[in-house]
Structure 1
Amino acid sequence: MQENFNTQESVEVQVGSEYFEYLHHQQDSVYKASDYCRRRFAPESKYEEEAIILNGFKPLIFEISLQWISNPARRIAYDPDGLPQEPWLSNAATIWLLGKTLQCSNDFDRYTLSQFIQTCAFIAFGPWELIEKGATKGSLCRFSDHWITWNHQLVGPEPNEYSGLRAARTALTAPVRDPRTFDIEHWYSECGKYMRPRCLHDPIARLEKSNEAKRPKPRPPAE
């Protein structure tokens, strides 16, 4: 059954100083954007006729998000030889944060995280402090904590861009692996909370388990 959210002629979204207006027949795109929008424009909402105001985000961030909503794509696989692409190189973390604000779908979350994983090593000024403040939980928070811990170990005690961040203060002596190599589902699973999970999302742990399974088992001694 087709949902009839309201009878407004248009929906208005304010992002920074710019306004986006959607005619009534275009509102499905806005509703698909997020659970938040669906509830906001439901007939019983007292805010139904007010514009959605997204403070702290640039219009470009909203436009990129709507492009994905209009034409959803599956998450990308991490390619160690892949080159970063704009606009995701500069904006993936912020787009993920907007998705959380608008309560976008799990597919949107996975796509934006996969873009961030592919590009994070090439960002000139890493958004790690922004993530630590804005993503207190969720997939991006877990990946970021692992990335900061791994890089902080590599750099050593000298002052660096990770100094002072929560994850950099984690006292770990055993080496942490490059988090980009983990299967993306790791960051949505309980094991994603841990720095050395030894789970099957880790390709090295998976290979070790596979090799172990292939080893001939010792025969029991003859009676």
Structure 2
Amino acid sequence: MQENFEDQESVEIQVGSEENLKIFIVNKTLLREASNYCRRRFALELKYEEEPIILNGFEPLIFEIFLQWISNPAPRITYDPDRLPQEPWLSNAATAWLLGKKLQCSDEFDKYALSQFVQNCAFMTFGPWELIEKEATTGSLSRFSDHWVAWNYRLAGPGRNEYSGLRAARATLTAPVRDPRTFDIEHWYSDCGKYMRPRCLHDPITRLEKLEEAKRPKPIPPAEWGRSTELRRERPQ
């Protein structure tokens, strides 16, 4: 099956396996703006014969999600505990993030895919935590996943569960005491996102504590008495 997005200066992209293969014809300019990988590849094609881009490790739906975003970019969403889960992001946010990583996409797509994952991860029937630990060894998704696994493994208590055996589950003794979804998205792109118990301003509770601390009246230093104080006052300026 072939889907045509642009006819002029386009490239063929094959997505999926033999049983579920889909061919996309996509405008090169659109891909250059979104993907460092495509930008470098198209530059090399000035010297070499053009070949299709093959993405056989992803489902066509994942690439469709990516195409929809680069055709009409949207800002990352803010976590809302009252928002209901939504497809296609409920089932595909982690894989979309991995596709963006493979294509070396902009931070904007990375943050959008991560924000969708943060919003929907609690509703995933079969969590992608093992996949993330295997495929997303570094980056924002890996950091959030490690915190989520450690936090939930601790909450689950003794006995085997879906987090048992994962690397991050071994960090339960230092796991965050609060829901990692509440942290600002920038937290997972900062050095503080590497640590299990951060005390940074990406945490809304820490921000509130700092604000309350700033409101407290500062203690008045005790008055100075004694001969040394008098001599200091008498000393010419």
Whether TM-score is above 0.5 comes out as yes
Q: Report what 1:210 is aligned to.
A: 211
User: Cα offset for 1:44?
Assistant: 5.4
User: Cα offset for 1:45?
Assistant: 6.0
Asked if the contact 2:184/2:202 (under 8 Å) is kept, the reply is yes
What amino acid is the match of 1:154? Answer: L
Report whether the alignment pairs 1:59 with 2:60.
yes
Asked if the contact 1:128/1:162 (under 8 Å) is kept, the reply is yes
User: Cα offset for 1:132?
Assistant: 0.4
CA RMSD of aligned residues (A): 1.6
Looking at CA atoms only, which structure, 1 or 2, has the larger radius of gyration? 2
SS of 1:210 mapped into structure 2: helix
Deviations 1:87-136 (A, max 9, x none): 00000000000000000100000000000000000000000001001100
Asked if the contact 2:182/2:203 (under 8 Å) is kept, the reply is yes
Asked if the contact 2:89/2:116 (under 8 Å) is kept, the reply is yes
Q: Report what 2:11 is aligned to.
A: 11
What amino acid is the match of 1:18? Answer: K
Report whether the alignment pairs 1:21 with 2:22.
no
Report whether the alignment pairs 1:40 with 2:49.
no
User: Cα offset for 1:171?
Assistant: 4.6
Q: How many residues align?
A: 213
Gaps of 5+ in 2: 1-7, 225-237
Deviations 1:124-167 (A, max 9, x none): 00000010011000000000000000000100121000000000
User: Cα offset for 1:42?
Assistant: 1.1
Asked if the contact 1:41/1:47 (under 8 Å) is kept, the reply is no
Instruction: Map 1:1-223 onto structure 2 (within 5 A).
Output: 10-16=10-16, 17-22=21-26, 26-43=27-44, 49-172=50-173, 176-223=177-224
Percent identity for Structure 1 against Structure 2: 77
What amino acid is the match of 1:100? Answer: K
What amino acid is the match of 2:11? Answer: V
Structure 2 CA distance for partners of 1:120 and 1:43, relative to 1, 3 Å: same
Q: Report what 2:230 is aligned to.
A: none
User: Cα offset for 1:9?
Assistant: 5.3
User: Cα offset for 1:191?
Assistant: 0.2
SS of 1:41 mapped into structure 2: helix
SS of 2:118 mapped into structure 1: helix
Q: TM-score, normalised by structure 1?
A: 0.91
What amino acid is the match of 1:211? Answer: E
Q: Distance in 1 between matches of 2:149 and 2:58?
A: 24
Deviations 1:14-40 (A, max 9, x none): 101211123xxx321222231101111
Q: Distance in 2 between matches of 1:190 and 1:45?
A: 39
Asked if the contact 2:118/2:181 (under 8 Å) is kept, the reply is yes
Moved over 6 A (4+): none
Asked if the contact 2:76/2:111 (under 8 Å) is kept, the reply is yes
Q: TM-score, normalised by structure 2?
A: 0.86
Q: Distance in 1 between matches of 2:41 and 2:121?
A: 33
Asked if the contact 1:153/1:175 (under 8 Å) is kept, the reply is no
Q: Distance in 1 between matches of 2:129 and 2:105?
A: 22
